Amino acid sequence: MQSMINRALTMGLALIAVHSSASAAGCDLSWMGSGITAAPTDSGHMIALRGTDGVIRLNEWRIKSKTWSGWMLPSNQNGVISDPWIQYSAEGGQNVYARSSTGATLQWICVRNPDGSWKINVTSNVPDGKLTPTGRVTSARFSTSGEQRLIATFADGTVKYQTWTLYAPPPASAGTWNGMWTDLGITNVVGSPWATQVTPTTVNLYVRLKDGTMRQNYWNGTSWSGWIKLPLPSAAASDPTSYFDGTGHWLDYMGTDGVPVQMMYYMGWTSSRLTTFPAKSSLVAYAPGSLTYGIDANKNVLKFAPSAPGQKSTSSQVNCLIP
């Protein structure tokens, strides 16, 4: 992450200090949107929400204080047309990506201030390589040297990635996007892919095909394992969302009947239908077993807490007082 910060500074890009206070009423009124993603932070987790006004906002849930930081707005959004993607860095920061109406993929780098608040680096566009992704992009870290890959679906149903690499070692830590999209050898993909960081150098990548099936590809630190078909209990009507909790791999999607489906892999796949969760779009499998986000038919952000032994599952609308 520090290498990315230095890269942004060498390009003469401004740092924007973001205030972390907001009224409860303001937070409540703005917890509506069309797309949401989430990623861990060093003190909780951060969500990236594209509001009903098309603007991307960030908010961090802090476990110790049990409060939200308040909304943070990345600048220079330049006509955002996709849901955001937020990627946690092992160094403690966040990468945020979204596509704009210009055809570019925008990137912001969030870094922690000494006082615990956040500041957001305004970065330049990711080179389009003469190809324009469709839908939301995804990203992950692929090596100990800090290599990042941005992964996207294209209009022809293929999935490709672009690589950010260092060209000067620390302390300079300068780097660049290579501006080239490398094909991942799959077709008939619809919607947006989802990359899950398993370790600092290994990644699970999930995609949905036109026929409602899903495929998984695993980066083992040096190479891709190849695409495999997942044993879904029913056809998928939404993009995949996944999370690795250190033991099990979780995968959520919307079924064709409008009911969310949650799968878990540990020595084999198991699945359940989340019939008490009224989300209709933009599922985010974040720390399953304790929290899953989604958006309902009225564009409200919801959370779902799966049941513990002897307890009922709960679903509620998210606001400033509820994680």
pLDDT per residue over 244-255, tens digit each? 888 888 999 999
Q: How many residues does the chain have?
A: 323
**Whole-angstrom Cα distance, residue 295 to residue 36?**
8
pLDDT over threshold 90, residue 122: no
Output the six-digit token pair for 152. Answer: 């996207």
Q: Identify the bridge partners of residue 177 per DSSP, sorted by sequence position.
A: 164
Q: Can you give the pLDDT at residue 123? A: 67
The phi-psi region of residue 135 (left if phi > 0; otherwise alpha if psi is between -120 and 50; otherwise beta) is left
pLDDT over threshold 60, residue 309: no
**Whole-angstrom Cα distance, residue 121 to residue 131?**
25
Residue 308 or 80, more confident? 80
Q: Identify the bridge partners of residue 55 per DSSP, sorted by sequence position.
A: none
Going by pLDDT thresholds of 50, 70 and 90, the confidence category of residue 175 is low
Q: Cβ distance 244 to 195 under 8 Å? A: no
Q: What percent of the chain has pLDDT over 90?
A: 34
Q: Can you give the pLDDT at residue 290? A: 65
Residue 300 or 307, more confident? 300
pLDDT over threshold 70, residue 262: yes
pLDDT over threshold 90, residue 218: yes
Residue 285 or 181, more confident? 181
Going by pLDDT thresholds of 50, 70 and 90, the confidence category of residue 174 is low
Candidate from 63-77, 240-254, 293-307 with smallest mean pLDDT:
293-307
Q: Can you give the pLDDT at residue 95? A: 87
Mean pLDDT, residues 215-235: 96
pLDDT over threshold 90, residue 162: yes
**Whole-angstrom Cα distance, residue 216 to residue 205?**
6
Residue 204 or 131, more confident? 204
Candidate from 18-27, 156-165, 230-239 with smallest mean pLDDT:
18-27
| Measured CA angle at 96 (ends 85, 69), to 5 deg | 100
Q: Which residues of 225-257 are buried (b: 16+ CB within 10 A; e: fewer)?
A: eebeebebeeebbbbbbbbbeeeebbbbbbbee
Q: Which of 214, 210, 296 is closest to 31 using CA atoms?
A: 296
pLDDT over threshold 50, residue 24: no
